[in-house]
Structure 1
Amino acid sequence: MENIAGKTALVTGASQGLGRVIALELAKAGCRVIVNYANHSGNAEKVVAEITAAGGTAEPFRCDVSDEPAVHAMFAALEERFGGVDILVNNARIDPWRREASMSEGEWFDRVLSINLKGALLTSFAFMPKAMERRYGRIVNVSSVRAFRAAEPNMIAYGVSKLGMHGLTRAFAEQGAPFNVTCNTVAPGMILSENIAKRLTPEKYAEECSAIPMRRGGTAEEIADAVLFPIRNGYVTGETININGGMYYAP
């Protein structure tokens, strides 16, 4: 497994939830971590403080990944300050349970895909040229088990956005392979993040767990471990790592 100490890692949507834990684990592995956020500067600062208190190196960076000029500006700034980005984790997403009541189906679909899918497309396009030039790069796209399951009406946009991540992975894996640039997908099931208690009652949580063969949700640390695997292993590319307690058995 490769030593990634000293690499610069950009984690999108890293101010809370799974992104926060991925950032913490990359910092523990010795990476300089760029904690990307769009709206929650206070949360991002807390993640940076948590990393630095543990002896790691991190900086916050505000950027809405659905904004193409802002994405290019972010990568240009990181190139100038740190010599570029070595590792990109596309984790930013819209919480599918926080739709505004006034939004139409089309408005919601556009909004979800603009962050969840278009954002990953834009950051990957911005990342690839310098990574190929340096002949090193790692992209991990965070998808979901919902990419493979029939969605209830309120989750269609989310499921479609996560399924699209797999198309991005194959495309950028093919492009990057001759240059030692890999791209992989991690598809988690239910994650026990800080928001799970806000969304599910104990009864609803038990009901959700009854559909999981392992009868529990996964910890964010378990998912982050799956993210770090294809970053450290340079021979894995174009693959999907399913980590969902048995909710979906891939062929």
Structure 2
Amino acid sequence: MQLYQVDSVKRNSLAQQVMDQIVSLLISGKLKPGDKLPSEVLLMEQLDVSRPVVREALSSLETLEVIHRKPREGTFISEKIGSGPFRAMLAIYINNLPAVIEARMTLELGLVTIAAEKITDEELEELAETIENIRRNDEDYGKYDKQFHRIIAYSAKNPIVEGMIESLLIAHEKTDSLIKYREPELTIQYHTAIYEALKKRDSIEAYRKMYDHLKYVRDKILNGQEDL
């Protein structure tokens, strides 16, 4: 199987370039949801890269839910891409940290303002539970942090942006994995401030408190990268 017309990949950032090639074909329409990709051997030959590079690229695309693998059948473009093209763009820029963080901020700041108008009492209770769970699990609270942001995103109840929310959470995981040290008390303070604004149905205050939180995360991550 020929992977359409592609350029052989040069030997810098190889796995990322393989990802870019596949995603570019998807964005151009040459690959579509449900299409089967060539085998690893054919990808190696067509892109002039090693098997580990191909596997790394495919593993990253699978994590981003751009592709999925079926045992004994092969690798396919995910059907989810049709309703969530944001995943494809995220795949291209996943290693551009400032861009990923800004995309996360853009989505979350918009969603939290709408959430302030639509969030239910039950969802507010769920938010409060996540804050309490962070307090109880201060050494490993990443899943409760992610849950907090997921509840807010889905409480906006907007079907058009729902396709972006899971990609938003993937961006959350990417940025979260780069945090070198945890400060649970600060996380609790930020989350509580957001929760109180949502409880008051105050969109402007919710925006401000979410911005304070995400700006802190952005600065912490990017400053940490400078120290590497």
TM-score with structure 1 length normalisation?
0.23
Higher Cα radius of gyration: 2
TM-score with structure 2 length normalisation?
0.25
Higher helix share: 2
